[in-house]
Amino acid sequence: MNKHEIPAGLSLMLRDFTVAVLRQKPSDLYLFAADYFQKLSERNRNNNIPSNTNNNCNEDLPAKMERINFGRRRSVAAERYDPEEDEDDDNDDANKKVMHPKTDEQRKRLKEAVQGILLFRSLAPEQMNDVIDAMFERNVDPGDHVIEQGDDGDNFYVIDCGVYDVYVKNEVSRSLLHSGSFGELALMYNMPRSATVVAVTKGRLWAMDRKSFRRIVLRSACKQRKTYESLLEKVPMLQHLDLYERMNLADALTPVYVNDGEMIIKEGDVADGMYFIEHGEVKVTITRNGVECEAARMQAGDYFGEMALVEKAPRSASVYSSGGGTTKLAFLEVDCFERLLGPCLEIMKRNITNYVKSS
């Protein structure tokens, strides 16, 4: 490994630890840290996960380190930010929505640029619209320093086009070509920029200011996490998980919105994950003698799709959104299922056996 390269999984591991500290507020931070990382190590070892990876199934936060020369700020000790203490008060200047006018062509380009950005994957559609509104366009020329190592974080950046080199201590760590994002670490952790980003070619960036990033992305992620934790606490099967395991599971879930009558999973398909119902209702159907028959209805707090994962078999039923309106689901992909729900597998197997007997 290059001596300047950040180990894979480090930033995400530190993020998870920071969130755990903020939520549990331990009186002895050192003792809490020792217990936290010992449990993490044991869990990884039990699941045969290499020690240099994180047990959370989210990808590592873009280790795209950060910087540029657009009137950046130097060392103004960044204020501490706690999403849980941030109230949504429109009279508070820090919480007022920022809107930068855009043409239809600009909005289209920006929507394409933010697709697949990990930080945005848990945002609801209306929050994504806030992201689109809050971002503004920046053009760069070859040699422009977008962010500078050691500076305070001012903006988060999404690449529209162009090639950018990432420098750590004056050595090129990686290159970003026409897509991706950078600059989030300093905003998330109130730390100086950990790298310099220099434009290699002419390019175009979309930027979001520090306050908007925190208001939309960090606070929304915090609220989503609390919502998922509350949802998971009500699932009987998950009562065997401890708080730490439920927190990791909540972090791994991603929102899915399904219109009334739309198919969610199809009988016979390969399983890619399981679902928890956050809001709405679904209808389960099974094909018998060539005829699709309704087998069950499920509502908020129920889950489905686990049978194919437990049995490593194709989907045994189809599931549709029903009941009118939009159904909101929390999706857990197969890799995360296998990694995070080990303690619940026996319960799932018993539930499946009981379901088959009653069918």
Residue numbers in the known binding site are 184, 193, 306, 315
User: What's the distance, CA 348 to chain centroid?
Assistant: 26
Contact between 135 and 101 under an 8 Å Cβ cutoff? The reply is no
329 bridge partner residues: 256, 277
Structure tokens at 205: 């960036």
Q: CA 190 → CA 17, 58, 341, distances in Å?
A: 15, 22, 33
304 bridge partner residues: 275
Contact between 145 and 196 under an 8 Å Cβ cutoff? The reply is yes
| Torsion region of 294: left, alpha or beta (phi above 0 gives left; psi -120 to 50 gives alpha) | beta
Cβ neighbours, 10 Å, residue 299 = 12
Backbone Cα Rg of the chain: 22
Bridging pattern class, strands 136-140 and 203-209:
antiparallel
Annotated binding site for 3',5'-cyclic AMP: 184, 193, 306, 315
Q: Give the SS3 label for residue 7.
A: coil
